């Protein structure tokens, strides 16, 4: 395994400092009437690599205030085996569903997991929305992020169970997961990819899923889950499903 030698993609990481401004931008949208109508639907929120689930709290509160059944991903800091995480997401969802399938919104690596879940378990997911997720090349990242992945991978390969291992990247452990990132979705599953041309950590080109509705919006990577432009787009994307049901 090669550690700390991958060069990464040259991306405008300093622009990530705009995240504070993005958090302020959602203040006028926190009212539940700005969220897409719930109509009894369930949304699963999946956070990104190395992040606590609390990073999805603004979206959680927004959907919950509008009456959505909000489910948080029970995958810790999202630094473990990818396929194991997908299996855990399925277990998280199953108790919350009866007739309708869920909508999954995942940020960064959470978007990759959400797409894999939608492909593997279309009985659970009707729509998977990826926010800044490098579906086309999960290693098209800034060197800072790659270095973090290398550390997690080393720790997991040395035997720490909560971390991903070298096999998760290239071995049979996550072969099904990797195949799910490039496979077309079932006909009744909708994929949406929201990404930012000014993302400072993920190559935006890698986010252009050929099987998804791709929507470029100006955002930082860290702030994609709390960006007013993203929230307005989510409201527009999810509202039409009410009439289509």
Q: What is the pTM of this model?
A: 0.91
- Domain count of the chain? 1
Residue 158 falls inside a structural domain: no
Q: What is the pLDDT of residues 90-130, one digit of tens each?
A: 999 999 998 899 999 999 999 999 999 999 999 999 999 99
Residue 179 falls inside a structural domain: yes
| CA 84 to each of CA 13, 79, 81, 121, 174: distance values in angstroms, whole numbers, following the listed order | 30, 11, 5, 14, 8
Residue 161 falls inside a structural domain: no
Q: What is the pLDDT of residues 178-215, one digit of tens each?
A: 999 999 999 999 999 999 999 999 999 999 999 999 99
Residue 162 falls inside a structural domain: no
Q: Which residues of 66-78 are buried (b: 16+ CB within 10 A; e: fewer)?
A: bebbbbebebeeb
Mean pLDDT, rounded, for 68-73 = 96
Residue 223 falls inside a structural domain: yes
**CATH code assigned at 36:** 3.40.50
- Domain that residue 228 falls in: 13-49+56-101+116-144+173-238
Mean pLDDT, rounded, for 154-182 = 91
Map tokens 């990797």 to a residue.
178
Which residues on adjacent β-strands are paired with residue 130?
Answer: 106, 193
Residue 18 falls inside a structural domain: yes
Residue 80 falls inside a structural domain: yes
């Amino acid at each position: 395994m090669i550690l700390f030698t991958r060069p990464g993609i040259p991306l405008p990481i300093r622009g990530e400092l705009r995240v504070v401004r993005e958090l302020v931008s959602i203040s006028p949208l926190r009212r539940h009437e700005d969220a897409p109508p719930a109509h009894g639907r369930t949304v699963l929120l999946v956070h990104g690599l190395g992040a606590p689930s609390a990073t999805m709290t603004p979206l959680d509160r927004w959907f919950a205030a509008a009456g959505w059944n909000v489910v948080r991903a029970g995958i810790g800091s999202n630094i473990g085996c990818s396929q194991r995480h997908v299996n855990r997401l399925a277990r998280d969802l199953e108790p919350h569903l009866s007739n309708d399938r869920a909508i999954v919104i995942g940020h960064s690596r959470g978007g990759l997991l959400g797409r894999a879940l939608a492909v593997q378990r279309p009985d659970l997911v009707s729509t998977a929305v990826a926010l800044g997720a490098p579906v086309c090349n999960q290693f098209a990242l800034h060197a800072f992020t790659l270095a973090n992945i290398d550390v997690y991978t080393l720790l997991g390969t040395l035997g720490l169970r909560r971390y991903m291992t070298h096999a998760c990247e290239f071995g049979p452990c996550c072969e099904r997961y990797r195949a799910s990132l490039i496979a077309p979705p079932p006909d009744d599953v909708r994929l949406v990819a929201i990404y930012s041309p000014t993302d400072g950590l993920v190559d935006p080109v890698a986010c252009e899923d050929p099987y998804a509705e791709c929507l470029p919006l100006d955002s930082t990577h860290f702030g994609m889950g709390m960006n007013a432009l993203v929230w307005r787009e989510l409201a527009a994307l999810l509202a039409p499903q009410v009439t289509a049901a």
